[in-house]
Amino acid sequence: MGGFIILFLLCVLSFQSSVLKVTHARFQATKCGDAGPDIHYPYKIKGQHQHTDSLPGFELLCKDNLTTIHFPSYGDLEVKSISYDTKNIHLLDPKKCVHHVFLNLNLSLTPFHYFYVLKNYTYLNCSTALPPPFVEVPCLSAASYHVYTVDSALPVPGSCEGVKTVAIPFAYSPYLSDSILGLRLTWDMSETEDSKTINHTRGSHTSRNLVIGSSMCVFVMVMLLLISTKIRVAARNNHQKEEQLLHS
């Protein structure tokens, strides 16, 4: 009987671990390149047939060991890291011009928004350089024009043209290493998608599988017990028959 209990436990354990592998496939991370961030739900690599599902807008691209994300309003940005706990995705601009991204990136049809508090700034495009304290954005300026990010309340100087007013995390500053700070986005998942992730995989699924696994194992054990009892009874009958034959 002790043997049966051990067998039963082994059976339940092996069933459990195989099922857990399947349920956790959703959380199984993949990577693009050795140094890339872990990629799992709600993200996925586009075109890769993972067991996992993803949400719309969370498709990443993998090219030459580089993880990128495509925004129709801007283009491709490199994904430096993803923090699933804080829902923070850290991006880098391949052209190394964060204010070019701020100027063009439109997140309104995406699940993302900036991780930081925003303020409205106006981008000015000026034919002549403005005096200090104005500092032009080097990567947006050229010899014949000078681009500035200024407080949106400021009146537009005569030699300038207001390009656009956008809500962005900060104005240009030569002292700010903007490629490190700037491109942090956070994402929204609706309440149900979020709790579904948690309940589904960790809670109800596991306990339901435990019940299914145990019942299957109980069934197998009972069958084995019945068969072995039958064999034993048959053996005893045979034995009795042999004895009767011997006695007669």
Binding stretches for ligand NAG (CB under 6 A)? 33-34, 64-65, 106, 108-109, 118-120, 125, 140, 145, 147, 163, 166-167, 192, 195-196, 199
Concatenated DSSP letters of 1-46: -HHHHHHHHHHHHHHHHHHHHHHGGGG--B-SSTTSPPB-TT-EET
Q: Pick the closer one to ligand NAG by CB: 65 or 207.
A: 65
In whole angstroms, the minimum distance from the beta carbon of 133 to ligand NAG comes to 20
Q: Pick the closer one to ligand NAG by CB: 50 or 201.
A: 201
Residue 237: C-alpha distances to residues 197, 224, 241 (Å): 58, 20, 6
Q: What distance in Å separates the CA atoms of residue 229 and residue 210, rounded to the nearest whole number?
A: 28
User: Amino acid identity, residue 74?
Assistant: Y
In whole angstroms, the minimum distance from the beta carbon of 125 to ligand NAG comes to 4
Q: What distance in Å separates the CA atoms of residue 98 and residue 133, rounded to the nearest whole number?
A: 21
The dihedral of CA 186, 189, 195, 200: what is its sign? negative
In whole angstroms, the minimum distance from the beta carbon of 36 to ligand NAG comes to 10
Q: Pick the closer one to ligand NAG by CB: 142 or 245.
A: 142
Q: Pick the closer one to ligand NAG by CB: 3 or 158.
A: 158
In whole angstroms, the minimum distance from the beta carbon of 7 to ligand NAG comes to 34
- Token match 């000026």: residue? 126
Q: Pick the closer one to ligand NAG by CB: 192 or 248.
A: 192
- Token match 């009146």: residue? 155
In whole angstroms, the minimum distance from the beta carbon of 27 to ligand NAG comes to 17
In whole angstroms, the minimum distance from the beta carbon of 128 to ligand NAG comes to 12
Q: Pick the closer one to ligand NAG by CB: 178 or 217.
A: 178
80-83 CB contacts, 8 Å cutoff, 24+ apart = 80/37, 81/37, 82/37, 82/38, 82/39, 82/43
In whole angstroms, the minimum distance from the beta carbon of 166 to ligand NAG comes to 6
Q: CA nearest 123: which of 104, 97, 95, 142? A: 104
Q: What distance in Å separates the CA atoms of residue 138 and residue 98, rounded to the nearest whole number?
A: 11
Q: Pick the closer one to ligand NAG by CB: 86 or 195.
A: 195
